[in-house]
Each structure stands twice: as C-alpha cells, then as structure tokens.
C-alpha cells in the first residue's frame, strides 16, 4: 500500500461524513497518474504554492495602494491569513484541511494590480471578475498556458469564493467565510495603523457582541462558526454574530473601502489600467510570447487575452509598463 493510499484510508476513518474525501474527488480534466505520497488535494495545494501567479501576490494591493509601511497587508499575506482561518475551521470541523488550504491559496490568484480598483477598470473596458480570473489562471494561464490541471473540487471552491458564490463542498464554504473573516480583521487593523479609523469609531453595539479589539473579534467569529457548524451540512454562524459581522462589514465599506483618504489614488489606478488595456488591444505585438501564442492558437477574444496579461501584473509592474508607454523618457548618454 502506498503512503497516499494509507493517507486516504486515514481520511475515511477520521474525517466527518460531510467532508470531501480525496479518494472521492471528481478528478482532473486531464487524467494523470496518482502521486505515491500525496492525495489529490494536497498535490493541488503544492501546485498552487509553486506557481508564478502565487509569488506575484506579494506585490499586489490588498486595500492600501503601494503602501510604504512594512506592516500593511498585501494580497499574499491576505491569502495566507485566509488559509490559516480556513485550516483552523476545517480542522475543528474534521473537514478536509488540504482541500480548504488549496482553495484558500488559489482563491485570489486572478486579482488585478491595485485591488478592486484594477478589477473595476478591466470591467469598465471588457468583462472582468477576479474569481473567474482566478480559475483562468489555474486552468489556462499558468505553466505557459497549459494550466495546473487541478481537481474539480479545488476549481469549484476557487470559482465560488465570493459572497454570491455557492461552493459545492463544505471546504469551499469554509474558505468563502474565512476570506470575509480575514479581510474584516486585517483591513480594520491596517486602517487603524494608517490613521483612517480608531477602535472607538467602531459602533459600541458591534464591539459588545464581537469584542473590543481586532484580534478579539476574529477570535469570536471563528469560535462562533465552529460551534455552530459542528456536524452540520452548512457552515454558518449564530444569527447574532452573523448579523454583527455583516454590520461590521458594512461599516468597513462606508469608512475604509470607500474612504477618500484611503482611496485617493484609486481613480489614477483605474485610469492607468484602462490606458494599458487600450494600448495592448492596439499593440498586441507588445504582449509577451505566451499571450501572442494564445491569440493565434485559441479562440479567446483579443480583449480577453489582454485582460489575462494585465490582471497578472503586479502593482509595480503595471506602473513600470505605463511609464514605458506613456511617459517620455529622459535622454541618457
Ligand atoms: Mg480574498
């Protein structure tokens, strides 16, 4: 018996009846021989961790654009926090931790430079949603267009990680909620660090229910999800905590995400991404070879291929490209 088979047997004995078992996966689009050590979801987790799009997350905005302070979150640290929350919850509920981790590490791979401003910019000029894009990254952009050939369950969790999505596994539902818990926690922490908010600005009734610090609130929410979802077919919080979380999220939208102090540079980012899009649609010869090949060899619209390229850029790379095309260079001799 291989190590992988032993691990699969352990899953069968140990995991909750509602967990997704590696052995019962609906499989990959292209069949492959199994690994002798790792069950399928563990293998997918490793593929995501090793892909190039994952490494670029370190230079992509979470909320604050190109922050100079060392302690603000980036898309990478956000992803790691989502993964940590998801693993804590999945482990406590005896769900498949490897599946939850794989989905969490992959969920934001399709995020544009400059966070939701970049997403808005691409959606203004074409059609763009970061969760659909995350799936494109793992399906047909990574590995020079060959994709990572992930399992159905990981792909489903990535595609359905947003509020409106309905993941088909409980592990997917855990990640969808863990994403919210993570950003409510760390975006508030960063907003306080950045002087956008103080702890006292948070409505007292929400602090009474959830706690009096960012850390205490995360702790309350994670405990509440676990105790209310034990041996259940759903991942959910108690009505009181759920309501308070939604209120807090609304408060964050009004006071952080749409705060002109934090978002002052966003219009410029939207303009810049829009300009880059127009440029590449007119000058497809300026695209890297992989994307030029995709224009020739696939039936995707030109605009889609340009979106794929721009969405993959880091904040600083997008600025660099904008400079290259639109800012006159100094004479150097
Ligand atoms: Mg996220």
Q: How far is the CA of 167 from the centre of ligand 1 (A)?
A: 15
Whether 225 contacts 89, CB under 8 Å:
yes
Q: What is the pLDDT along the chain (333 residues), one digit of tens a residue?
A: 999 999 999 999 999 999 999 999 999 999 999 999 999 999 999 999 999 999 999 999 888 877 778 899 999 999 999 999 999 999 999 999 999 999 999 999 999 999 989 999 999 999 999 999 999 999 999 999 999 999 999 999 999 999 888 999 999 999 999 999 999 999 999 999 999 999 999 999 999 999 999 999 999 999 999 999 998 999 999 999 999 999 999 999 999 888 887 777 889 999 999 999 999 999 999 999 999 999 999 889 999 999 999 999 999 999 999 999 999 988 887
Q: How far is the CA of 73 from the centre of ligand 1 (A)?
A: 12
Q: How far is the CA of 108 from the centre of ligand 1 (A)?
A: 5
Q: How far is the CA of 126 from the centre of ligand 1 (A)?
A: 22
Q: How far is the CA of 103 from the centre of ligand 1 (A)?
A: 11
d(CA 298, CA 296): 6
Q: What are phi and psi of 227, to 5 degrees?
A: -65, -30
Q: What is the pTM of this model?
A: 0.96
Q: How far is the CA of 295 from the centre of ligand 1 (A)?
A: 29
Q: How far is the CA of 6 from the centre of ligand 1 (A)?
A: 33
Q: How far is the CA of 114 from the centre of ligand 1 (A)?
A: 14
Q: How far is the CA of 151 from the centre of ligand 1 (A)?
A: 20
């Amino acid at each position: 018996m291989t190590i992988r088979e032993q691990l699969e047997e352990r899953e069968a004995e140990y995991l909750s009846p509602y967990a997704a078992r590696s052995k019962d996966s609906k499989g990959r689009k292209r069949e492959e021989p199994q690994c002798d050590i790792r069950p399928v979801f563990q293998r997918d987790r490793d593929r995501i961790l090793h892909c190039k799009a994952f490494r670029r997350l370190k230079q992509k905005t979470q909320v604050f654009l190109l922050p100079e302070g060392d302690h603000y979150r980036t898309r990478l640290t956000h992803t790691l926090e989502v993964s940590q929350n998801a693993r804590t919850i999945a482990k406590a509920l005896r769900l498949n931790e490897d599946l939850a981790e794989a989905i969490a590490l992959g969920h934001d791979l399709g995020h544009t430079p400059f966070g939701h401003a970049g997403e808005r910019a691409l959606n203004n000029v074409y059609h763009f949603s970061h969760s659909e894009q995350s799936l494109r990254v793992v399906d047909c952009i990574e590995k020079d267009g060959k994709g990572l050939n992930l399992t159905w369950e990981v792909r489903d969790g990535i595609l359905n990680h947003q509020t409106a999505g309905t993941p088909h596994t409980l592990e997917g539902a855990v990640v969808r909620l863990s994403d919210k818990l993570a950003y409510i926690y760390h975006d508030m922490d960063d907003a306080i660090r950045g002087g956008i908010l103080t702890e006292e600005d948070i409505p007292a009734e929400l602090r009474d229910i959830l706690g009096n610090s960012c850390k205490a609130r995360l702790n309350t929410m994670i405990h509440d999800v676990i105790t209310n979802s034990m041996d259940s077919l759903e991942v959910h919080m108690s009505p009181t905590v759920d309501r308070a979380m939604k209120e807090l999220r609304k408060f964050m939208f009004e006071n952080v995400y749409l705060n002109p102090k934090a978002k002052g540079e966003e219009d410029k980012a939207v303009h810049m991404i829009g300009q880059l899009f127009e440029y590449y649609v007119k000058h497809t010869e300026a695209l890297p070879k992989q994307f030029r090949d995709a224009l020739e060899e696939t039936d995707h619209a030109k605009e889609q291929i340009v979106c794929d390229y721009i969405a993959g850029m880091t904040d600083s790379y997008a600025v660099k490209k904008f400079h290259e095309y639109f800012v006159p260079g100094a004479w150097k001799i």
